[in-house]
Amino acid sequence: MGPVHHERSGHGGSQVPGPGRRRATPRRAARGGRPDLAAEHLHDVRSPTLLIVGGRDSIVVDLNRVAARHLRAEHRLEIVPGATHLFEEPGALAQVAHLATSWFLAHCT
């Protein structure tokens, strides 16, 4: 299996490589991230991308919806109902883990 990238909360800038550089990351998941911060580069993302956002984090949900429209690669936006930005609610991180595991299993085999 090749490289896998898990984007931690709030750091959308690492969604893409630095200026003039390309990075081979064949699969990607972002939890509560801000891909909008890398908006000008989202069309360059080639790896399948899963965006996971807490349903009670309405601003970030909207930002991820806009960002998803700029992705050319296969992508999916998953919203965890009742979860806030840090997924601190009981069971929220378990849902994130399940979504990410399912995504990676589907894209790593």
Secondary structure of residue 79 in the 3-state scheme: strand
Written as one string, the DSSP assignment of 80-96 is: ETT--TT--STTHHHHH
Domain 26-107 in CATH 3.40.50.1820? The answer is yes
Q: Which residues contact 45 (CB under 8 A, 6 or more apart)?
A: 15, 16, 28, 71, 72, 73
- Compute the C-alpha angle 28/31/34, nearest 5°: 90
pLDDT value for 88: 96
CB-CB contact of 69 with 48 (8 Å): no
d(CA 92, CA 97): 9
Q: CA of 87: how far to CAs of 32, 43, 80, in Å? A: 8, 28, 9
Q: Given this model, what pLDDT does residue 6 score?
A: 47
Q: Which amino acid is at 54?
A: G
**Predicted model pTM:** 0.75
Domain boundaries, the chain: 26-107
Report the DSSP pairing between strands 28-31 and 75-80.
unpaired
Please check whether residue 34 is in contact with residue 60, taking contact to mean a CB–CB distance below 8 angstroms. Answer: yes
pLDDT for 23-54, tens place per residue? 555 556 667 678 888 889 999 999 999 999 99
